[in-house]
């Protein structure tokens, strides 16, 4: 999800361990002391960073929705500056989402299980950000597949998110091939699903502007990928 290489802050460490523990044992199955122990500080010491578990959960779920949306907008801006074709822009969006799906599985689980625990204002913000993220994709998908009606494009984007976000439900990490192979497989599946939704128009496996079978585009030149399923 993130390309930063500097060490995480204490706040980020707390959030990372909270996400892992909440995903493994449920929000109510984890105490503040356990989260503190996981990062090497006392439970009460956590209150210097967060008001409590509810605040951690809100920052995790609102935060990832914000990062997915802002990352998608940045991806599209970079693609526009680079003069990329719509197919390459779509590949970049898919790639960023794949990074999230492979590297932040705990947040996907947390979103599925605990979203309703957020207070109304935070939950509405998550939903709003997710809708905006979906619309970014819908616009690009319809540029690649102009024959696909808007409603079907939107439904297809939701379906692709479900496909990509299925990674936490595998029985064990070894169920996937190595990371690069898993990313390439997920990318092919996503592009294939969108091409199928459009009726297979455009010829090749990915259509007229798709990536080659063994390649994954990314605006910054690295390996591609970023979140929880966006809601209707």
- Is the pLDDT confidence value at 223 over 80? no
Cβ-based burial of 199 (10 A; exposed 0-12, middle 13-18, buried ≥19): exposed
Identify whether 153 is part of a domain.
yes
Structural domain of 65: 60-197
Identify whether 220 is part of a domain.
no
Identify whether 48 is part of a domain.
no
Residue 101 contacts residue 158 (beta carbons within 8 Å): no
Q: Mean per-residue pLDDT for 48-60?
A: 93
Closest CA to 224 of 180, 168, 165: 180
Identify whether 74 is part of a domain.
yes
Identify whether 39 is part of a domain.
no
Q: How many domains does the chain have?
A: 1
Query: By percentage, how much of the chain surpasses pLDDT 70?
Result: 80
Please name the residues in contact with 216: beta carbons below 8 A apart, sequence gap of 6 or more. Answer: 91, 94, 95, 183, 184, 187, 223, 224
46 vs 55: CA distance, rounded Å = 11
Question: For the segment 103-127, what is each residue's pLDDT rounded down to a tens digit?
Answer: 999 999 999 999 999 999 999 999 9
Identify whether 51 is part of a domain.
no
According to the per-residue pLDDT averaged within each range, which of 41-45, 145-149, 167-171 is highest? 145-149
Please report, for the domain that includes residue 192, its CATH number: 1.10.357.10
- pLDDT band of residue 216 (cuts 50, 70, 90) is very low
User: Cα angle at 113 between 110 and 119, to 5 degrees?
Assistant: 85
Identify whether 108 is part of a domain.
yes
The per-residue pLDDT for 44 is: 78
- Is the pLDDT confidence value at 232 over 60? no
pTM for the predicted model, two decimal places:
0.80
- Is the pLDDT confidence value at 50 over 70? yes
The per-residue pLDDT for 163 is: 95
- Please, what's the b/e burial string for 111-135 (b: 16 or more CB within 10 A of its CB; e: otherwise)? beebbebbeeebbebbeebbebbbe
End-to-end CA distance of the chain: 23
- Is the pLDDT confidence value at 191 over 90? yes
Average pLDDT, the chain: 84
Cβ-based burial of 219 (10 A; exposed 0-12, middle 13-18, buried ≥19): buried
Identify whether 217 is part of a domain.
no
Q: Mean per-residue pLDDT for 59-87?
A: 96
Least confident of 156-160, 173-177, 190-194: 173-177
The per-residue pLDDT for 106 is: 93
The per-residue pLDDT for 228 is: 56
């Amino acid at each position: 999800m993130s390309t930063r290489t500097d060490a995480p802050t204490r706040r980020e460490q707390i959030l990372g361990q909270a996400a892992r523990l909440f995903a493994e044992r449920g929000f109510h199955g984890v105490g503040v002391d356990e989260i503190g122990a996981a990062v090497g500080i006392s439970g009460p010491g956590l209150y210097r960073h967060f008001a409590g578990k509810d605040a951690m959960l809100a920052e995790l779920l609102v935060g990832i929705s914000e990062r997915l949306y802002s990352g998608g907008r940045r991806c599209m801006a970079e693609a526009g500056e680079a003069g990329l074709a719509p197919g390459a822009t779509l590949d970049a969006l898919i790639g960023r989402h794949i990074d999230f799906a492979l590297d932040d599985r705990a947040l996907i689980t947390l979103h599925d299980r605990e979203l309703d625990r957020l207070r109304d204002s935070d939950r509405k913000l998550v939903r709003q950000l997710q809708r905006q993220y979906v619309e970014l994709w819908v616009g690009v998908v319809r540029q690649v597949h102009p024959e696909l009606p808007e409603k079907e494009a939107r439904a297809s984007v939701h379906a692709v998110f479900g496909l990509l976000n299925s990674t936490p439900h595998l029985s064990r990490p070894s169920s996937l091939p190595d990371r690069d192979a898993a990313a390439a497989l997920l990318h092919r599946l996503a592009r294939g699903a969108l091409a199928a939704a459009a009726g297979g128009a455009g010829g090749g496996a990915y259509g007229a502007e798709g990536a080659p079978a063994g390649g994954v585009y990314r605006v910054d030149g690295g390996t591609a990928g970023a979140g929880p399923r966006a809601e209707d």
